[in-house]
Amino acid sequence: MQPVTKGCYRLRPARSQADVAAAQRLRHLAFHAGADASRDTGLDRDRFDAICTHVLIEDLRDGQLVCCFRTLDLPDAGQIGQSYSAQYYDLSALMRFAGPMIEIGRFCIHPDHHDPDILRLAWAALTCHVDARGIEMMFGCSSFRGTDQSRYLDAFAMLRDNHLAPPDLAPRIKAPLVFPFGAQVQPAPDRRRALLSMPPLLRSYLMMGGWVSDHAVIDPQMDTLHVFTGLEIRAIPEARKKLLRAVMA
């Protein structure tokens, strides 16, 4: 992924282990706020860090890292078992997908920064990367903070009613702890509450035509609920692609 500067932000790939460690510290801040201090390393890291490309977005005004994520390019769907998501979801249906794929992982924005241009720059850079590599599907795990699904019933009902994966691509249950919201009988969701409780990354996926698994994985270690999220590139409206490409022009 090529470096780019827009306004007061610079996006670039990690160039050193120090860059990766900076991303791991931001991930820890975003994902492990309630960690046990006696066992806390201050870093969020796993074995997938070694095989992924790490991308940083910095604020040029003070040099602070405000966003990071990692990517794993998969030249064909037969390699999807190497992905982070494959630990938690049975992705055998997706192995029939024809075309290169990319997994987007550990996406987070610094909790003190809320400028929508940060997310816009990240998506614009990903769009250019997808164009350059001929990628036909993006996927990853979209995380809700905490493991109490009752906080997100409107969001899960909205996903159930409008955004479930196509049956021929749908991930199946693999993790031992899940919330099968696709099978829940609940009232129609309050759209406003649903959108407000969704992670920003998930909202972006859905606005571009993305879909989700019919269940959320309950991850006590990360203290999250997460859903598998897929986006076929052909489903993205051309007008939105044009807007994202224009950010990088």
Per-residue pLDDT for the chain (249 aa), expressed as one digit of tens each?
A: 888 899 999 999 999 999 999 999 999 998 886 544 434 578 999 999 999 999 999 999 999 999 999 999 999 999 999 999 999 999 999 999 999 999 999 999 999 999 999 999 999 999 989 999 999 999 999 999 999 999 999 999 999 999 999 999 999 999 999 999 999 877 889 999 999 999 999 999 999 999 999 999 999 988 899 999 999 999 999 888 888 888 776
For residue 244, the model assigns a pLDDT of: 83
Q: How far apart are CA 193 and CA 190, in angstroms?
A: 5
For residue 226, the model assigns a pLDDT of: 97
Query: Would you state the structure tokens that stand for residue 130, as one six-digit string?
Result: 């997808």
Instruction: Write out the H or E segment, with its range, that includes residue 36.
Output: none
Q: Which CATH number fits domain 4-247: 3.40.630.30, 3.40.1280.10, 3.20.20.70, 3.30.300.210?
A: 3.40.630.30
For residue 222, the model assigns a pLDDT of: 85
For residue 249, the model assigns a pLDDT of: 66
For residue 8, the model assigns a pLDDT of: 95
Instruction: Record the pTM.
Output: 0.93
**With contact defined as beta carbons under 8 Å apart, do 217 and 87 qualify?**
no
For residue 243, the model assigns a pLDDT of: 84
Closest alpha carbon to 158 in 126, 122, 196, 120: 196
For residue 70, the model assigns a pLDDT of: 98
Closest alpha carbon to 27 in 46, 13, 9, 12: 46
Q: How far apart are CA 5 and CA 77, in angstroms?
A: 32
For 61-96, the DSSP string reads: TT--EEEEEEEEEESSGGGGGGSSGGGTEE-GGGGG
Q: Where are the domains of the chain?
A: 4-247
For residue 195, the model assigns a pLDDT of: 95
Query: Would you state the structure tokens that stand for residue 189, as one six-digit string?
Result: 């969701």
